[in-house]
């Protein structure tokens, strides 16, 4: 319940934050909303020696749409849920409870790299990216390269995610199917679908994100390929959804065996696709 | 989670005998209670309490109840909201639905056929307990004014034709509470080494305000309010002028506390009786001052006065003034206006009610959504309806947790794996529906208030209504029984297995055959007839 002793700084600029992070060494951690990190610290599963709080750093929060969509890393789930952002907003509205949504941030969630979190698989399905700043300057990491392992991302120890970037997927319908035991739980499995219909009603493009079906977020590639370029009727969707668990290795837990999760992924994929194609 | 008591953890094997017309002839239950590694406060008493109400609301002429305690290397089990009665209600009410299905009878008709009728109270049941009062038909009648079963069946059929599975479940429940007659529960009775009376001091101050010291120790039930109402009503004052003090034996009388739905029926009754003594003294003072007979003094509109002459009466403050400045008291009367009461009840009290639950089951995923929950409860005359509703709401939520979510689970190495509220699924407000509540009021003859406890009622009542509703929804798919908790994976596995798929249930599955009992996790609920061993 009580975390190990740690130092705390709240720098006023990004450069100061980067400098503090780098001086703090490998046991320094960034603090955004704190709703993943602080519980881990209280359980002593994490014991950083220094927290670098980003709350005073300007220009890290906010949403701008200019061709694509750019969301500042410190933008809260609530701010995203309240914006007119389609799938991304709907997903944010399902995260945990109002307290967590009011404090938790998009950048923090992505940097945490929890495969049970909602937004990572969405970024992956969009084919988006994150912009990070480090001592060596700025770089962009594609979503496909971001999630390396359970709670492990390609963001360096001395880097800060500054923004999250989504391509404009104009004309895409979407569906989000999140399955949990309690309303405020992490997803046992969640499936997100983005579907673009061609003028003849066939499937021009489809992207399917899978949450908690592996140690990292995944795309249901086999299901996407089965649908892309073909018909978008109920039978085609059902057939594609049957492939949703291909190539996944879901972790089993008390509430769900791997087989049950694969089953859920197939059912939820069909429902998400139906919503996205409607 | 690892070091405080666990609850429930009984496996109940039940046999019932009935005639073709639904008349129940006998019930046999063998309960295995996991005690954990050692006894805490009431550990072995919990399955005994199950046995006390094993008849439920029904006339069952022949009964056998055997409880076997098993020591295991888990944390001890003990009393949590309901303490033995939720287990009894669950096994009886789920069994009633199983029997109705077996006899191809309407489950409510079966219940009505076996209810103890109103005119039989006080009613001794085969286990040897005397139920104080009850109106089980009346309670069910009232429930059915809120729930149109025929309309529901039509809707259910329509939904089924669309591949949607909606079900309705009932629980016509009763329980035993108001702990307790000391001679029944104490050393020479059940064997608990204590008395079970309750105590009160009612002190009217010279100003006419009052302080009540209660031996109970409310922790959020709102009893301060209810106690103040009882005293104010009887003294002709208002609840805001009555302070309630509790939880301190340094200032108040020795009491036993708040548990076992006893605080009103035993603690409140001791307050009512102490207040009655104060009223008696007040009447004597008033009679003396007005030169009338004490039996002619009545309390009306906040004044103690001679019947028919309210204008010459005395307010409580005036009576208190006369008591504390004793210039003109009856011969031999002590000054002051306060009384103490120790009250040991003659019997328990037996609340009851009828609950209905409507659920939707997602047959593809096993997920359950409670669409409607209607509760009609009877805890005697209502002193504070809002507090009663609060207790019922919380109690049902607690039972929804038991039925659908909560489970203490130890893995095969004996490691507790539900050690936090992340893993131990306690439902929040977001997971439960808005409850619809109503009441009937059947007074108990046991106490002067006529009241029965309500703190545990919802928890005792609700789990079978929920489980019966799920089974009702899934009968067309061949599912006729499910163990709690009805996690999505458990429900899905049941549906798949009914199709012959051979899917294992989730890893926390409890129960199993007679030989394997106790393996797996804590939780509650009987083992299914399809998987239970023989008695």
Q: pLDDT digits over B424-455, tens only?
A: 999 999 999 999 999 999 999 999 999 999 99
How far is residue B112's CA from residue B110's CA, in Å, rounded to a whole number?
6
Within 8 A of B365 by CB-CB distance, chain A residues are 179, 264, 267-268
The 3-state DSSP class for residue B27 equals strand
**Closest C-alpha among B343, B416, B468, B519 to residue B90:** B468
Q: Name the pLDDT band for B393 (thresholds 50, 70, 90).
A: very high
Within 8 A of A184 by CB-CB distance, chain B residues are 428, 430
Q: Parallel, antiparallel, or unpaired: how do β-strands A63-66 and A68-72 relate?
A: antiparallel
Q: Which of A182, A257, A263 comes nearest B425 by C-beta?
A: A182
Q: Alpha helices, DSSP H only, in B291-368? A: 316-324
Tell me the nearest-neighbour CA distance from A47 into chain B, angstroms.
Answer: 19
DSSP state of B167: E
Which of A196-205, A245-254, B294-303, B503-512 has the weakest average pLDDT? B503-512
Q: Is the pLDDT of residue B463 over 70?
A: yes
How far is residue A42's CA from residue B205's CA, in Å, rounded to a whole number?
51
**In this complex, do B504 and A257 lie within 8 Å of one another by their Cβ atoms?**
yes
Q: Tell me what pLDDT residue B516 has.
A: 37
- CA distances, B19 to each of A111, B119, B126 (Å): 67, 24, 18
Tell me the nearest-neighbour CA distance from B428 into chain A, angstroms.
Answer: 8
Q: Which DSSP string corresponds to B373-417?
A: EEEEEE-SS-S-HHHHHHHHHHHHHHHHIIIII----B-TTS-B-
Which of B245-249, B494-498, B501-505 has the weakest average pLDDT? B501-505
**Closest C-alpha among B120, B40, B48, B115 to residue B75:** B40
**In this complex, do A257 and B409 lie within 8 Å of one another by their Cβ atoms?**
no
β-bridge mates for residue B65, sequence order: B29
How far is residue B57's CA from residue B135's CA, in Å, rounded to a whole number?
10
Residues 6+ apart with CB under 8 A from A90: A81, A174, A176
Q: Is the pLDDT of residue B179 over 50?
A: yes
Tell me the nearest-neighbour CA distance from A140 into chain B, angstroms.
Answer: 34
- Phi-psi map region of B431: left, alpha, beta (phi>0 left; psi -120 to 50 alpha): alpha
Q: Is the pLDDT of residue B526 over 60?
A: no
Q: Which of B409, B417, B488 comes nearest A181 by C-beta?
A: B488
Q: Among all residues of chain A, which has the CA nearest to that of B507? A: A254
Within 8 A of B425 by CB-CB distance, chain A residues are 181-182, 185, 255
pLDDT tens track for B307-328: 988 888 999 999 999 999 999 9
Q: Name the pLDDT band for B256 (thresholds 50, 70, 90).
A: very high
Q: Among all residues of chain A, which has the CA nearest to that of B364? A: A267
**In this complex, do B364 and A267 lie within 8 Å of one another by their Cβ atoms?**
yes
**Closest C-alpha among B491, B493, B534, B485 to residue B510:** B485
A260 — contact with chain B (CB < 8 Å)? yes
How far is residue A28's CA from residue A158's CA, in Å, rounded to a whole number?
9
Q: Name the pLDDT band for B519 (thresholds 50, 70, 90).
A: very low
> What stretches of B72-128 adopt beta strand conformation (E)?
123-124
Interface with B, mutate which of A180, A181, A262 (most B CBs under 10 A): A181
Q: Is the pLDDT of residue B506 over 80?
A: no
Tell me the nearest-neighbour CA distance from A275 into chain B, angstroms.
Answer: 17
Dihedral sign from CA coordinates of A78, A81, A87, A92: positive
Residues of B with CB under 8 A from a CB of A: 364-365, 367, 405, 409, 417-418, 420, 423, 425, 427-428, 430-431, 487-489, 492-493, 503-504, 506-508
In chain B, pLDDT over 90 holds for what percent of residues? Answer: 87
Q: Among all residues of chain A, which has the CA nearest to that of B368? A: A181
How far is residue B530's CA from residue B482's CA, in Å, rounded to a whole number?
10
Q: Which two tokens stand for residue B455?
A: 């703190």
Q: Is the pLDDT of residue B527 over 70?
A: no
Measured in residues, chain B has a length of 535
- CA distances, B5 to each of B88, B291, B525 (Å): 20, 61, 18
Consecutive sets of 10 residues in chain A, 278 residues long: mean pLDDT of each? Answer: 96 97 93 94 94 97 95 98 97 96 98 96 98 95 98 96 97 97 94 97 98 98 98 97 97 91 98 97
**Closest C-alpha among A47, A48, A61, A49 to residue A14:** A61
Angle between helices B457-474 and B85-103 (to 10 degrees): 30
**In this complex, do A257 and B405 lie within 8 Å of one another by their Cβ atoms?**
no
How far is residue B183's CA from residue B179's CA, in Å, rounded to a whole number?
11
Start-to-end C-alpha separation, chain A: 47
Backbone angles phi, psi at A17, to 5 degrees: -65, -45
Q: Could you count the other beta carbons within 10 Å of the beta carbon of residue A82?
A: 14
Tell me the nearest-neighbour CA distance from B369 into chain A, angstroms.
Answer: 11
Rounded to the nearest 10 degrees, how much is the dihedral formed by the CA atoms of B432, B433, B438, B443?
Answer: -10
Tell me the nearest-neighbour CA distance from A251 into chain B, angstroms.
Answer: 13
Residue B9 CA from chain centroid, whole number: 18
Within 8 A of A263 by CB-CB distance, chain B residues are 492
pLDDT tens track for B331-345: 999 999 999 999 999
Q: Among all residues of chain B, which has the CA nearest to that of A98? A: B430
Tell me the nearest-neighbour CA distance from B510 into chain A, angstroms.
Answer: 13
Are the CB atoms for A63 and A81 separated by under 8 Å?
no
Q: Name the pLDDT band for B531 (thresholds 50, 70, 90).
A: very low
| Mean pLDDT along residues B463-485 | 96
**In this complex, do B418 and A254 lie within 8 Å of one another by their Cβ atoms?**
yes
**In this complex, do A267 and B430 lie within 8 Å of one another by their Cβ atoms?**
no
Start-to-end C-alpha separation, chain B: 33
Interface with A, mutate which of B365, B369, B423, B424 (most A CBs under 10 A): B365
Q: Which of A257, A263, A264 comes nearest B506 by C-beta?
A: A257
Number of H helices and E strands in chain A, helices first, is 11, 14
**Closest C-alpha among B444, B482, B527, B469 to residue B131:** B444
**In this complex, do B365 and A182 lie within 8 Å of one another by their Cβ atoms?**
no
């Amino acid at each position: 319940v009580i975390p190990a002793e740690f130092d705390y700084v709240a720098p006023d600029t990004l450069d100061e934050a980067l400098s503090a992070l780098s001086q703090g060494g490998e046991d320094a951690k960034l603090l955004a909303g704190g709703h993943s990190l602080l519980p881990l610290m209280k359980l002593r599963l994490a014991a950083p020696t220094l927290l670098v709080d980003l709350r005073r750093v300007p220009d890290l929060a906010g949403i701008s749409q200019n061709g694509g969509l750019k969301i500042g890393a410190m933008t809260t789930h609530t701010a995203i849920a309240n914006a007119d952002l389609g799938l991304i907003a709907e997903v944010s509205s399902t995260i945990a409870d109002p307290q967590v949504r009011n404090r938790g941030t998009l950048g923090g969630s992505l940097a945490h790299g929890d495969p049970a979190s909602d937004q990572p698989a969405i970024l992956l399905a969009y084919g988006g990216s994150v912009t990070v700043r480090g001592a060596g300057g700025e770089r962009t990491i594609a979503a496909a390269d971001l999630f390396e392992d359970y709670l492990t991302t390609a963001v360096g120890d001395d880097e800060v995610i500054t923004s999250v970037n989504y391509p404009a997927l104009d004309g895409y319908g979407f569906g989000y199917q999140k399955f949990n035991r309690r309303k405020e739980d992490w997803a046992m499995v969640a499936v997100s679908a983005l579907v673009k219909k061609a003028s003849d009603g066939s499937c021009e493009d489809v992207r399917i994100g899978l949450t908690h079906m592996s140690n990292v977020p995944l795309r249901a590639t086999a299901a996407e390929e089965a649908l892309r370029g073909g018909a978008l009727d109920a039978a085609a969707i059902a057939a594609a959804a049957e492939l949703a668990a291909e190539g996944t290795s879901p972790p089993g837990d008390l509430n769900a065996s791997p087989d049950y999760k694969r089953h859920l992924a197939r059912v939820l994929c069909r429902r998400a696709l139906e919503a996205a194609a409607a | 989670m690892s070091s405080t008591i666990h609850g429930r953890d009984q496996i109940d094997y039940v046999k019932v005998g009935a005639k073709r017309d639904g008349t129940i002839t006998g019930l046999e239950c063998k309960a295995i209670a996991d005690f954990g590694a050692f006894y805490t406060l009431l550990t072995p008493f919990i399955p005994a309490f199950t046995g006390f109400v094993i008849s439920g609301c029904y006339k069952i002429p022949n009964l056998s109840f055997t409880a076997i305690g098993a020591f295991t290397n888990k944390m001890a089990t003990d009393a949590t909201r309901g303490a033995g009665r939720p287990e009894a209600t669950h096994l009886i009410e789920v069994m009633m639905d199983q029997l109705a299905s077996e006899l191809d009878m309407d489950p409510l008709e079966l219940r009505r056929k076996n209810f103890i009728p109103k005119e039989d109270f006080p009613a001794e049941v085969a286990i040897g307990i005397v139920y104080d009062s009850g109106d089980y038909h009346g309670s069910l009648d009232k429930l059915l004014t809120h729930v149109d079963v025929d309309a529901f069946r039509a809707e259910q059929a329509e939904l089924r034709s669309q591949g949607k599975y909606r079900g309705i479940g009932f629980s016509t429940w009763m329980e035993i509470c108001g702990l307790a007659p000391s001679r029944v529960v104490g050393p020479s009775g059940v064997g608990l080494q204590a008395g079970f009376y309750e105590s009160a001091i009612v002190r009217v101050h010279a100003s006419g305000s009052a302080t009540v010291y209660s031996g109970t120790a409310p922790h959020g039930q709102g009893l301060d309010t209810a106690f103040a109402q009882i005293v104010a009503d009887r003294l002709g004052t208002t609840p805001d002028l009555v302070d309630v003090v509790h939880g301190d034996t340094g200032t108040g009388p020795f009491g036993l506390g708040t548990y076992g739905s006893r605080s009103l029926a035993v603690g409140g009754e001791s307050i009512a009786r102490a207040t009655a003594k104060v009223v008696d003294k007040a009447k004597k003072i008033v009679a003396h001052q007005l030169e009338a007979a004490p039996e002619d003094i009545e309390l009306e509109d906040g004044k103690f006065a001679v019947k028919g002459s309210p204008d010459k009466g005395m307010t409580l403050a005036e009576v208190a003034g006369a008591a504390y400045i004793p210039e003109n008291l009856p011969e031999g009367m002590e000054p002051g206006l306060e009384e103490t009461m120790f009250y040991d009840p003659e019997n328990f009290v037996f609340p009851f009610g009828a609950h209905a639950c409507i659920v939707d089951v997602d047959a593809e995923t096993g997920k359950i959504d409670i669409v409607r929950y209607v509760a009609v409860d009877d805890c005697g005359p209502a002193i504070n309806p809002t507090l009663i509703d609060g207790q019922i709401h919380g109690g049902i939520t607690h039972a929804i947790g038991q039925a659908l979510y909560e489970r203490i689970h130890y893995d095969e190495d004996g490691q507790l794996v539900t050690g936090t509220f992340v893993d131990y699924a306690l439902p929040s407000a977001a997971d439960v529906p808005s409850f619809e509540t109503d009441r009937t009021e059947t007074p108990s003859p046991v106490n002067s208030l006529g009241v029965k406890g309500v703190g545990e009622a919802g928890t005792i009542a609700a789990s079978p209504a929920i489980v019966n509703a799920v089974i009702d929804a899934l009968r067309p798919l061949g599912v006729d029984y499910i163990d709690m908790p009805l996690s999505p994976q458990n429900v899905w596995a049941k549906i798949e297995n009914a199709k012959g798929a051979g899917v294992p249930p989730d890893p926390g599955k409890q129960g199993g055959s007679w030989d394997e009992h106790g393996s797996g996790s804590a939780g509650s609920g009987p083992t299914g007839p399809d998987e239970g061993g023989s008695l």
